[in-house]
Amino acid sequence: MNKLLTPLAAAAALLAASAAWAAQGGALDALKAFVDGTKSGRAEFTQTVTSPDGKRTKTSTGSFEFQRPDRFRFDYRKPYAQLIVGDGAKVWLFDPDLNQATVRKMDRALGATPAALLAGNKLEQDFVLAEQPAADGLDWVLATPREHADGSLQSVRVGFKAGQLAAIEIVDAFGQRSVLRFSAVSANVALPAEHFRFVAPAGADVIEQ
């Protein structure tokens, strides 16, 4: 995993991680039920990123928390530490090895991204949704960004198993593919408010985009 992910790519990469919250019906019904009925949650994730030519892969692990609307926290632990926090107004990306934080306004960083699927509340405003054939033991929804998106993504696929959210597959504008698998999921849990706030450590470089 590139340690210098932009907030958008990181949110997409994480953007990553979500949950296995129960829903009834097909994959599209399950996705809509997740967005409508799950107000907060946490999960562990494993992310595999594959280069456009398919020859290189990188794997990372971490945890994800979210609270609607537009608050989320991605905590990458291995192989490198990296923290992404959406506080409702801004998205922060912090690299502890570099002691560097990048910050971007929420309306520029979220939009039609996987984070918008997981923590946002404007599902059909930002995406065209369509059910896909079952594959790899999962039922899939294809979420294609609408025309007003910034062009950084080709598509997002959301996978469900027995009506529970299980995976997200992201293809960016360059053809790089990221697949996140979720485990240890809890839905509608109380989460500390400070988990969705970021204060740059003393001496950290802060870059605004």
- pLDDT tens, N- to C-terminus, the chain (209 residues): 443 333 333 333 333 333 333 333 478 887 877 777 788 889 899 999 999 998 899 999 999 898 888 888 989 999 999 998 989 888 899 999 999 999 988 776 554 455 655 665 566 677 788 888 888 888 898 888 776 455 677 888 888 887 677 888 888 888 889 898 988 888 899 999 999 999 999 999 999 98
Q: What is the pLDDT of residue 119?
A: 61
* CA–CA distances in Å: residue 78 to residues 1, 66, 112: 10, 20, 27
Superfamily of domain 7-184: Lipoprotein localisation LolA/LolB/LppX (2.50.20.10)
C-alpha to C-alpha distance for 175 and 37, rounded to whole angstroms? 32
Residue 193's region, left for phi above 0, alpha for psi from -120 to 50, else beta, is alpha
Q: What is the bridge-based pairing of β-strands 100-105 and 205-208?
A: parallel
Looking at the DSSP bridge assignments, the partners of residue 140 are 132, 159
Which pLDDT score, from 0 to 100, does residue 155 have? Answer: 81
- What pLDDT is attached to residue 118? 62
The whole-number pLDDT of residue 23 equals: 34
8 Å CB contact between 29 and 165: no
Q: How far apart are CA 95 and CA 28, in angstroms?
A: 36
What's the CA gap between 186 and 166, in Å, rounded? 13
Q: How many other C-beta atoms are found inside a 10 Å radius of the C-beta of residue 145?
A: 20
In the chain, where the domains are located: 7-184
